[in-house]
Amino acid sequence: MTDIQTLHILNKSPDHPRAARCVEMMSAEDGLLLTGNGVLLLARGNLLPGASKVFALIPDVEARGLGDLSGNVSSVDFAEMVTLSLQAQRVISW
């Protein structure tokens, strides 16, 4: 994995105002980790931040039946989520 300035962890669905705010406040050096309802952003491809790395928590993706939609999004398990949270310079949980 590569350097991430800020890891944004988003667990809100794309319709939640905090989801839009999160994507707005990201820079190209940031990473986005989708968990919980946040993984539904994978079903709204046009809303994904173009410039940033996107990760999605596997059990949440599978629960919501979105296994096939990942595209160039990286699936991560909890062990990788731990690693990501340490690699980033800071973590924001939206």
Contact of 54 with 29, CB cutoff 8 Å? no
* C-alpha separations of 84 from 3, 15, 16, 43 in Å: 9, 26, 24, 23
Closest to its own copies by CB, 15 or 77: 15
Q: Does 24 bind its own copies (CB under 8 A)?
A: no
User: Residue 16 CB, nearest distance to its own copies (Å)?
Assistant: 7
The residue within the footprint of another protein, chosen from 2, 50, 65, 72 (CB under 8 A), is: 65
Which strand (E) or helix (H) includes residue 21?
A: helix 17-24
Q: Does 1 help bind another protein (rule: CB under 8 A)? A: no
1, 2, 4, 30: residue in contact with another protein (rule CB under 8 A): 30
Q: Taking the complex as a whole, how short is the minimal distance between the CB of residue 49 and its own copies, in angstroms?
A: 20
* Contact (CB, 8 A) for 31 and 7: yes
